[in-house]
Structure 1
Amino acid sequence: MQVTKQTLTVGIVGAGIIGCSWATVWARAGHRVAIFDSNAAVLERVFEHLTRHIRDSERVGQEFHPGLESRVTLHLELKDAVAHADFVQESVAEDLEIKRDLFQRLDRLTRPEAILASSTSAIPMSKFTEDLERRQRCLIVHPATPPHTLPATEVVPAPWTDRAVVERTLGLLKDVGQSPVLVKNEHPGFAMNRLQGALLIEMFRLIEAGVITASDADTLVTDGFALRWAVLGPIEAIDLNADGGIEEYLGRYGDIYDRMAQEKHETGRLMAPSLVDGLVKQLREQLPLEQIDIKRSWRDQRIAMLKRLLTKKGNDA
């Protein structure tokens, strides 16, 4: 398969937050997008989501391919959304049996050359495509949330995924503005959630132990690490934190990380009800549930502004 620049038809299966965000990624790049959801009420909100994505982007000067909404169609029947698709992105519930049944249907309903991708956060593709006739065209395309704002995307092939399918997928994602990363095998939790989870788990432990509040934990990231991580990754960052680079840095501080790693042999459940209840109380005091959509727009606009600023600085250099 060769990566081409032609207009594609992309089937989006599932019209929730991730599905609508994926629809924006493909439609803003000029591709045709057919969205399926079995819930008519969910489909009715699709253009509301797309309108918000466009509005938030335009407010910070981000350009979209003209006529985005005209390239999007909505479907209550799965076959109508995927029969002519070149690429299908599934974004349904994180449930193994639901995905297994869905991919069996997709394998029958789609053209043989169509790529079938899943947004699953942690379920390996091999768990639900093993018995498919054309399983070699299936792979994980797991985005950072939301993908229309955060371009990092991990691509995880199954053991039987055709290498040409992997290469074409990586190329297509780059063409629509994503930053795909190849995860070379089906490591549990893939890569993105393991990295994010490592930080979140430590934050949860500190909050549960009464060391820090949820708000203050977030502040240490937003006003600390995140500002640095916006321009370079954590490994690059520590390489700059010593005159002799990462070798000197780890020579000085490696034992600190060793000691912290050795602390992690505790047993028991991290997400205890007391921790969950405490987090819910703190977060809902900060932001009432009915204001979440407003905060999402705020987030998307500021990320877009930061990306635009960093791109401009890079071009000026």
Structure 2
Amino acid sequence: MSVGIVGTGFIGRGWAVCFARSGRAVRLWDPAPGAAEAAKAYIGGMLADLAAADLLGGHAPQNIASLISVAATLAEAVAGAEHVQENAPERLELKRALFQDLDAAASAEAVIASSTSALLPSAFTDHLRGRARCIVAHPVNPPHLIPLVELVPAPWTSEEALTRTEALMRSVGQSPVRLEAEIDGFLLNRLQAAVLDEAFRLVDGGFASAEAVDACMRDGLAPRWVFMGPFETIDLNAPEGVRDYVGRYQAMFRTLTGSMRSETDWSGPVLDRIEADRRNRLPLAGLEARQMWRDRQLMALAAFRRQAPQ
């Protein structure tokens, strides 16, 4: 089986690793001159670290690298592919035009998936003859280290396309979740938006520093949420489970949520304080090194989760 990767930024590179380490041939294409070649070189540079963390499925780095090639054209990238993963910028008209090209170029059997994190699939596939095989498969950055993939159908996406994409994602080691219908932001970003909005509100209201908010997540909520979601967390935090938890604590949370209705302008004066907090802890010149540190931590966590009992 071969996979076409269209768009080779951070997400496209991560997808390439996901598919190649499962033994699939991957062809990269990007409209920007030299971008696909740069992506292949970047991937080659990370493979040794992934192998050291046992995140290449037992394959040698050179074997994974040999499965990833650069296509000269979009048509070449998707020719014969059973799955196409699109990773273009979040611009609706661009997606509509690109999906029209992909629908024309890809084989009739191929599923065409978008990595979009916000655009509804119905907004850029409604005009396509092959719209039934189109779907959103939204990953978390970086997808080769964080397994979640949100599968979002348009109203006309076929059950076959959903089932095939879900099976493919499981076969490459991802953790797919199906949405029953499309909704703005899907699941992950709606949850993330709620947390971020409250985080900005707490700093904007003068209740805490940016670092204090980060610490509450990093050292408080996150250790549990690495292993379980919010519903399992509360199910385990009351003697008789989730219903017992709601009976005990809903009134307390209602008192809190009543003060969480107002919106905060993230780009307003609060941004100056948060940026100052962050730059005090991490100068701008250190961002790239810290991103690499983050990825190494995610590698270690991914390796641990592979060995931990479920």
Match in the other structure for 2:224: 228
Match in the other structure for 1:4: none
8 Å Cα contact 1:156/1:190 also seen in 2: yes
Q: Find the aligned partners of 2:113 and 2:284 in 1 and give their Cα distance.
A: 32
The gaps in structure 2 that reach 5 residues or longer are none
1:130-279 equivalence runs, <5 A: 130-266=126-262, 270-279=265-274
Q: CA deviation at 1:80?
A: 1.7
8 Å Cα contact 1:56/1:297 also seen in 2: no
2:308 counterpart SS class: helix
Percent same amino acid at aligned positions?
A: 38
Match in the other structure for 2:282: 287
1:161 counterpart SS class: coil
1:45 counterpart SS class: helix
The gaps in structure 1 that reach 5 residues or longer are 1-7
1:164-223 C-alpha deviation (Å, 9 max, x unpaired)? 110010000000000000011011211111111111111111112221122221111111
Q: CA deviation at 1:52?
A: 3.9
Match in the other structure for 1:58: 51
TM-score by length of 1: 0.91
Q: CA deviation at 1:272?
A: 3.1
Residues 299 and 173 (structure 1), Cα distance of their counterparts in 2 relative to 1, 3 Å cut: same
Matched residue type, 1:199: V
Match in the other structure for 1:299: 294
Match in the other structure for 2:68: 72
Match in the other structure for 2:107: 111
Q: Find the aligned partners of 2:244 and 2:303 in 1 and give their Cα distance.
A: 34
Q: CA deviation at 1:309?
A: 2.5
Match in the other structure for 1:13: 6
Residues 213 and 88 (structure 1), Cα distance of their counterparts in 2 relative to 1, 3 Å cut: same
Q: Find the aligned partners of 1:292 and 1:79 in 2 and give their Cα distance.
A: 36
1:154 counterpart SS class: strand
Q: Find the aligned partners of 2:164 and 2:3 in 1 and give their Cα distance.
A: 14
Aligned residues: 307
TM-score by length of 2: 0.93
Q: CA deviation at 1:17?
A: 0.5
Q: Which moved more, 1:288-297 or 1:200-209?
A: 288-297
Match in the other structure for 1:3: none
Q: CA deviation at 1:118?
A: 0.3
1:244-292 C-alpha deviation (Å, 9 max, x unpaired)? 222221112101222233334436x532332333333332332233433
Residues 207 and 41 (structure 1), Cα distance of their counterparts in 2 relative to 1, 3 Å cut: farther
8 Å Cα contact 1:129/1:135 also seen in 2: yes
Q: Find the aligned partners of 1:60 and 1:298 in 2 and give their Cα distance.
A: 14
Residues 102 and 201 (structure 1), Cα distance of their counterparts in 2 relative to 1, 3 Å cut: same
1:134-171 C-alpha deviation (Å, 9 max, x unpaired)? 10000000011111000011000110011011001000
Q: Find the aligned partners of 1:59 and 1:291 in 2 and give their Cα distance.
A: 24
Residues 52 and 237 (structure 1), Cα distance of their counterparts in 2 relative to 1, 3 Å cut: farther
Matched residue type, 2:106: T
8 Å Cα contact 1:117/1:139 also seen in 2: yes
8 Å Cα contact 1:57/1:63 also seen in 2: yes
Q: CA RMSD in A?
A: 1.8
8 Å Cα contact 1:38/1:76 also seen in 2: no
